[in-house]
Structure 1
């Protein structure tokens, strides 16, 4: 089963380098170039379809895109479902089940939510209960899926960041998380503290200040994501090409 392959990729001697994709071409290119697994970027996928990040993209449209992506590749696919697309655990469970039916082996779910354009952390106890109920539904229905829980303490720069992060790691681990994702954590000491605080694989994300992959391996990181940075860079390259075409009155920049 692909989900077992995906789990095993978090236990190798080097971190799983996850290519973040947003459509069929980006998924196929990632597979072609030897990436062992791919994950969607919610921000990139939303932007591709003309939406803002933060669950603005309707779940039905997300499902449509995931169906196309999953059908185009044979490597493990994990999907970012943001904060679960519902405050009701049973509804989020149904979303996850619908993704698994398409061949998805993992999901990212985050402990913050965008309301009125502002992202804020969800209360840790409340989110732990939410997560635990989802896990119970998955267990009762024998659905095996890798749950990577995103902790947004560093992304939102909360007070006592590492202490709050550790608290949430402890709670989410107890609730049944399979992995911990901490976007925007970049300091080596903080990364080591987070990794040392859990037996779960820890996932970090591409950031300008993030150290190289060799150092991340030494720090005990198990998974490295790219976020929406490649998608942003691709759009910037597209704009630069258009500017160059207009400036030179030719297509020489393409050839």
Structure 2
């Protein structure tokens, strides 16, 4: 089943968010259907903050290594496109497509000291320009457009989310990603307002997968939470070795 069709199954597509070859191989061993990179995890791995501090070339290298070592469909978190120019963003998408990448996330917020939303019409125009370039060059890649209305907890976030979804759908989005959404009623309204597959992300109060399936959610992401938990476990285990002055706890 190709990547687009994976968003139409009766169960939501659970994306394994990975950050390197080792995590991608583990996800493949566990029989995940698809991989997605976590920009935050890769940035942290390279010593950067999330928010396009690392260069596209650095991201490209990490994606290349993951793509070379996995047979699973791979989607890339491209943040805001690593440019504000549609031609540059389209070129980034083409470079990723050449690596075998089948989809990307593009988000409607940028980080300049702090994260803030891009004006909705401006961002939808950018998406439209990018999709026109891709169509002209016959490049197919799944555009999962992320809106950060809930993540940033803006006023009237539900209504603004639905407004942005309609704009992004008209601009050529293939899917919609709403990180930070947790309430059942909010998720249902978002799903019902669009014909596109809706993607939600791991959150403390996110309903379980069966409930999300019943609400019509089509894709579930892990974000960088497993990455952060892994390093917390590393810290705890290493502290245990220091305290015990022994490696016995490893075995």
Q: TM-score, normalised by structure 2?
A: 0.99
The correspondence for 1:15, drawn from 9, 12, 15, is: 12
- Counterpart of 1:248 in structure 2 is 244
1:185 and 1:62 map into 2 onto residues whose CA distance is: 27
Matches within 5 A, 1:132-211: 132-211=128-207
Query: Counterpart of 2:83 in 1: which secondary structure?
Result: coil
- Counterpart of 1:24 in structure 2 is 21
Matches within 5 A, 1:75-86: 75-86=72-83
What displacement does 1:33 show? 0.5
Gaps of 5+ in 1: none
What displacement does 1:64 show? 0.6
The correspondence for 1:49, drawn from 27, 46, 50, is: 46
2:249 and 2:182 map into 1 onto residues whose CA distance is: 36
Q: Does 1:112 align with 2:71?
A: no
The correspondence for 1:124, drawn from 115, 120, 124, is: 120
Matches within 5 A, 1:87-98: 87-98=84-95
Query: Counterpart of 2:4 in 1: which secondary structure?
Result: helix
- Counterpart of 2:209 in structure 1 is 213
- CA deviations 1:91-138 (Å, max 9, x no partner) are 0000010000000000000000001x2000000000010000000000
1:123 and 1:29 map into 2 onto residues whose CA distance is: 39
Query: Counterpart of 1:10 in 2: which secondary structure?
Result: helix
- CA deviations 1:6-57 (Å, max 9, x no partner) are 0111000000000000000000100111000000000001101111100001
1:5 and 1:48 map into 2 onto residues whose CA distance is: 30
For the aligned residue pairs, the C-alpha RMSD in angstroms reads 0.6
- CA deviations 1:131-168 (Å, max 9, x no partner) are 00000000000000000000000000011110000000
What displacement does 1:252 show? 1.1
- Counterpart of 2:70 in structure 1 is 73
Gaps of 5+ in 2: none
Q: Does 1:102 align with 2:109?
A: no
